[in-house]
Structure 1
Amino acid sequence: MSVDTPDWSRIPAPADDGAAAHLDGLAVPPVPLPATDGTVVDLSRLPGRAVVYAYPRTGRPGVDNPDGWDMIPGARGCTPQSCAFRDHFADLRALGVDHLFGLSAQDTADQREAAERLHLPFPLLSDADGALAAALRLPTMTVDGMTLLKRLTLVIEGGAILRVFYPVFPPDRSASDVLDWLSNPRS
């Protein structure tokens, strides 16, 4: 499945506002999150290494994005980001990633539609009530009355955040950036 990738040079890049600086080394709090595969995931209790990429929201075919969506720094690109993680799933596993998840504030029904449409081999997690975002003080933005997660990627090992990628831009390079780091974790 191909995805139309926008011309990233025409979309404003997010700035590093420092909103994720506190996350490195932080213990992940026990927050159960519903997943699109019907399970409930507590990131604090996962054995091994997990990669969690957070994104604002995935659009649905036939449903308009909020007005001005493409001009909000960091908003556009959730589908290309998810597809990049899908396409690099085997590579991530080969480099020791035991668990891969997408995370947004969307409800599980919207996420399930996206996971099925995009043929994702991993579940998406819903933080619709904002419990994980609040507990970790994740960076958020408000658009059309919706509180959405800003795009970031966490590498979690043994219940602690080992590495934070923030801001993430362009989104379709996120999986490659994680792969590069996994190949050379001192960078």
Structure 2
Amino acid sequence: MERLTELPQDLPIPIDDGACDRLLGELLPPIALASTQGDRINLSIIPGYVVLYCYPMTGQPGVPLPTGWDEIPGARGCTPQSCAFRDLHQELNELGAQVFGLSTQSTAYQTEAVDRLHLPFPLLSDADLRFATALNLAMFEIDSQPLIKRVTLIMDAGKIVKVFYPVFPPDRNADEVISWLETAG
């Protein structure tokens, strides 16, 4: 099995299908999401900048990825993306941003990733799809499992002020977010 922290060289590049164009300027829904820190977080009421990177799913060592995963444009790279946000977390905090990851995986599944990857920020579970449905986030399905397409949102006091979509390569997304925050501030 390939290392989850590395991206294969021949991944298909996702195309901007316009699925996230309408998100800019939207207010977040007042939904409290289960967090890997053991609490529930309502992103809509957090003051200041919030970075929410939405990703399909993190892989686990020893567990095969779904068949055809690397052929789905934008699917592969959740672990490298999370690691990039981890590595640049202090710089993001210095720019006044709080970071959260979001997927449809359960909190228990996400907690394994937080522990293994030493993430200094919580991952949020939208296993019931309430948040994704309320924002009408772009989705896809594999093995009968609904997953969120990779998109990163920056909010200011609950209002979406920047949308990164499609996100590719995912391991460069945290750098893009920092560049945007530096010019916005």
TM-score of the two chains, using structure 2 as the length reference: 0.96
Could you tell me which runs of 5 or more consecutive residues in structure 2 were left unpaired when the two chains were aligned. none
Encode CA deviations 1:120-147: one digit per residue, 9 max, x unaligned. Answer: 0000000000000000000111111010
RMSD: 1.4
> Is 2:26 the partner of 1:23?
no
Equivalent residue letter for 2:104: A
State how far apart, in whole Å, the 2-side matches of 1:103 and 1:13 are.
Answer: 21
CA distance in 2, matches of 1:115, 1:172: 17
Task: Say whether the 8 Å CA contact 2:5–2:79 is kept in structure 1.
Answer: no
Provide the residue aligned with 1:107 in structure 2: 106
**1:63 aligned partner:** 63
Task: Please give the alpha-carbon distance, in whole angstroms, between the structure 1 residues aligned to 2:181 and 2:7.
Answer: 27
- For residues 160-180 of structure 1, give each alpha carbon's deviation from its aligned partner in whole angstroms, at most 9, with x where no partner exists: 111110000000000000001
**Amino acid aligned to 1:65:** L
Residue matched to 1:96: 96
Give the gaps of 5 or more residues in structure 1: none
Q: CA deviation at 1:5?
A: 1.9
Determine the C-alpha separation between the residues in 2 that align with 1:60 and 1:126. Answer: 16
Report how many residues are paired. Answer: 183
**Paired residues of 2:24 and 2:163 also in contact (CA < 8 A):** yes
Counterpart Cα distance in 1 of 2:8 and 2:79: 14
Return the TM-score normalized by structure 1. 0.95
Are 2:173 and 1:171 equivalent residues in the alignment? Answer: no
Which residue is equivalent to 2:34? Answer: 34
For residues 150 and 43 of structure 2, the distance between their equivalents in structure 1, rounded to whole angstroms, comes to 18
Q: Distance in 1 between matches of 2:18 and 2:32?
A: 27
Deviations 1:48-90 (A, max 9, x none): 2110000000011111111010111000000000000000001
User: Equivalents in 1 of 2:71, 2:90: separation in Å?
Assistant: 33
Structure 1 stretches of 4+ moved >6 Å: none
| Percent identical residues | 54
